[in-house]
Chains A and B, each alone.
Chain A
Amino acid sequence: MTEATAKPDMNDASEGMSYLDGGMRKIVYVYLPLALIMVVLIFPFYWMVLTSIKPEDQLIDMDKYNPFFVVGPTMKHITKLLFESNYPQWLWNTMYVSVIATFLSLIASVLAAYALVRIRFRGAEMVGAAIFLAYLVPPSILFIPLATIIQWYGLFDSPISLILVYPTILIPFSTWLLMGYFKTIPYELEECALIDGASRFQILFKIILPLAVPGLISASIFSLTLCWNEFIYALTFLSSSENKTVPVAIVSEFVDGDIYRWGSLMAGALVGSLPLVILYSFFVEHYVSAMTGAVKE
């Protein structure tokens, strides 16, 4: 956060040396490579969008029409997806699981981060270190034992299993991020409130949280993205078609060997990504600070 405010000054200062950058040099060494990398980074999405609005004959006949463009775009793939398949159900499942899991982990993380930073109980440092370590335990080594545990609790093929398991990914991350935000809030505010007789819960909800709103937004946006993105748990725990999330459904339900499937596959991938991309475009700054904050703290 402090960087964002400090940045303009740095730019001004660096202008002192910018006369060393000749025009040609900058085009060859900066703009050209940058443009190249950007094209490679963006191309799969361009291709995704293009395929999902291409009429079927243009998809397989690449010589009659230039494949990089589309003539007479069609909404057929997208309407078929939305009105003739289970896709809306899958989208709803993904959203429902992501929002509830994010909300649960946000509550748990706020409490934990406050306790670790401000209450500083005995062993807080060790607990903080343990939470950081939990961040580094990947789902790939947990999904097998978790499958047996989920089975044992009778939660197999239920979205509740995901709502309970996703916080294990989100809590370590959000706690770590929020600890950073809480540390920047001056102690004096809290001392005043303590002297006036406020309880710790009152301090947390009336003083700390309103000041940490950017952190809360960052944590929830990033958590939402992580849930939406999660694959291996959803693949392992869910079996019936109507319970699946978008990423799982798209790899298991769409693959039917049909030569024309690409249009609907790409439409599915596009519609599944759009909500996140739109959300992201509104909160880019929060997103970046979540990403960099978790690494820097």
Chain B
Amino acid sequence: MSQMTASGAGSAGRSERTLWQRLSHDRNFLGLVFMIPAAAILLMFLAYPLFKGVWLSFTDAKIGRDGVWIGLENYEWLWDDKIFWLSVFNTLVYTIVASIFKFAVGLYLALLLNEKLPFKALIRSIVLIPFVVPTVLSAIAFWWIYDSQFSIISWSLKNMGLINENINFLGDPNNARASLIFANIWRGVPFIAITLLAGLQTVSPSLYEAATLDGATRWQNFWYITFPLLTPIIAVVMTFSVLFTFTDFQLIWAMTRGGPVNATHLMATLGYQRAIMAGNLGEGSAIATAMVPFLLVAIMVSWFGLQRRKWQQGGRDD
């Protein structure tokens, strides 16, 4: 009897609290609640603008005026625009050259830092400083180093007797490209070096010992042990690097703003100039949208890089 009332009361209590109880133990509901803040921000300010950008590129919107649908007109216009193609060319040169050097120097620096060194922690923190200082502020320092009159590089080379005239770093198209690429490499190397160093530290030294006992040279050690074990991290790091180099804006804007005669315009800076400064939102969006295919390729590479990594470690693919 007493048992029956107890269980009866219990079931009555459960049915009273049932909605709250069910919800607070329901994974899907809880998950939804926890995801709301992040999802709201990302949907409103990332996903929506992404689609809106594509839509804008099919309109003739200007600043202060909603555009009407004009189909592919913006793209047709760009197709015949020499400056646009120049910016595509610049972007590709900038990305490819800077990425190759960043990878080579970054990997080299990582290997150097992986040696037995005194003050290793200190050296590592100094190496990272270019990455910590805001890009625009270090770009301003480079701007001063590249000054046409008071460049310290020109001064040093002149005093060494190697050149007679100041180098026109940012005034000549090819010099300007090279100068910007150098600044980009300078800024990107620490990130690549430190992440690859983290990867190197996970490689077991016993592998090298075994290989050395079998008569492997240093080069063979690197090529047959280090490099294969490092490829997954390299894939991810380089995807990030390529992605951010391809869409770079700040360095160029702080130093040349696309000049001289559009020689250093990247797609991002040209998009800014056309959309925000000239007010042609539609045309600027078309330039920005033209970057998307490249972005997709980079994302695919990164994705498969990650997958392979999990597989290599014997982990499951989540």
Interface of A toward B, CB cutoff 8 Å? 3, 7, 10-11, 13-18, 20-21, 26, 30, 33-34, 37-38, 40-42, 44-45, 47-48, 51, 59-60, 62, 67-68, 104-105, 107-109, 111-112, 114-115, 119-122, 124-125, 127, 131, 133-134, 136-149, 164-165, 167-168, 171-172, 175, 199-200, 225, 228-229, 231-232, 235-236, 246-248, 250-251, 262, 265-266, 268-270, 272-273, 276-277, 280-281, 284, 287-288, 291-292, 295-296
Contacts and interface: CB of A to CB of B under 8 A. Distances in A.
A141 B91 CA distance: 14
A256 B310 CA distance: 54
Contacts of B190: 41
A10 B201 contact: yes
B167 interface: no
A148 B150 contact: no
B240 to A, nearest CB: 7
Given A16-B209, A44-B145, A149 B247 contact: no
Contacts of A225: 132
Given A168-B42, A232-B272, A145 B141 contact: no
A292 B117 CA distance: 21
Contacts of B206: 13
A232 to B, nearest CB: 5
Interface string B132-157: 11111110111011010010100100
A295 B233 contact: yes
Interface of B: 24, 27-28, 30-32, 34-39, 41-42, 45-50, 52-53, 56, 61, 105, 108-109, 112-113, 115-117, 121, 123-138, 140-142, 144-145, 147, 150, 152, 155, 186, 189-191, 194-195, 198-199, 201-202, 204-206, 208-209, 212, 233, 236-237, 239-240, 243-244, 247-250, 253-254, 267-268, 271-272, 275-276, 281, 284-285, 288-289, 291-292, 295, 298-299, 302, 318
A168 B127 contact: no
27 contacts: A10-B205, A13-B205, A20-B212, A42-B129, A45-B133, A67-B155, A104-B41, A107-B37, A127-B35, A127-B39, A140-B248, A141-B291, A143-B272, A145-B53, A171-B41, A231-B253, A246-B134, A247-B135, A251-B136, A266-B141, A277-B129, A280-B125, A287-B132, A292-B198, A295-B195, A295-B240, A296-B199
Nearest to A135: B240
B289 A251 contact: no
A146 B113 CA distance: 42
Given A112-B37, A140-B247, A165-B45, 7 more contacts: A10-B205, A119-B30, A141-B288, A171-B42, A247-B134, A269-B137, A273-B137
Nearest to B109: A37
A145 B140 contact: no
A200 B272 CA distance: 45
Contacts of B291: 140-141
Given A136-B299, A148-B281, A171-B38, A47 B141 contact: yes
Contacts of A140: 247-249, 267-268, 271, 288, 291
B305 to A, nearest CB: 10
For the complex of A and B, the 5 pairs showing the least CB-CB separation, nearest first, are A121-B31, A115-B34, A247-B136, A112-B38, A108-B37
Contacts of B39: 112, 127
A121 B27 contact: yes
A271 to B, nearest CB: 9
B275 A144 contact: yes
Contacts of B205: 10, 13-14, 16-17
A188 B204 CA distance: 31
Contacts of A112: 34-35, 37-39
Nearest to A13: B205
Contacts of A295: 195, 233, 236-237, 240
Most buried by B among A41, A144, A262: A144
A250 B137 CA distance: 8
B128 A269 contact: no
A292 B194 contact: yes
B272 A14 contact: no
A44 B209 contact: no
B45 A62 contact: no
A44 B249 contact: no
A40 B185 CA distance: 11
B45 A269 contact: no
Contact of A145 (B34, B38, B56, B113): B56
A78 B159 CA distance: 31
A34 B38 contact: no
A226 to B, nearest CB: 10
Nearest to A43: B145
Most buried by B among A42, A115, A199, A270: A115
A291 B131 CA distance: 10
Contact of A45 (B141, B150, B198, B285): B141
Contact of B27 (A122, A250, A269): A122
Given A136-B302, A140-B271, A41 B289 contact: no
A262 to B, nearest CB: 5
Contact of A125 (B129, B142, B318): B318
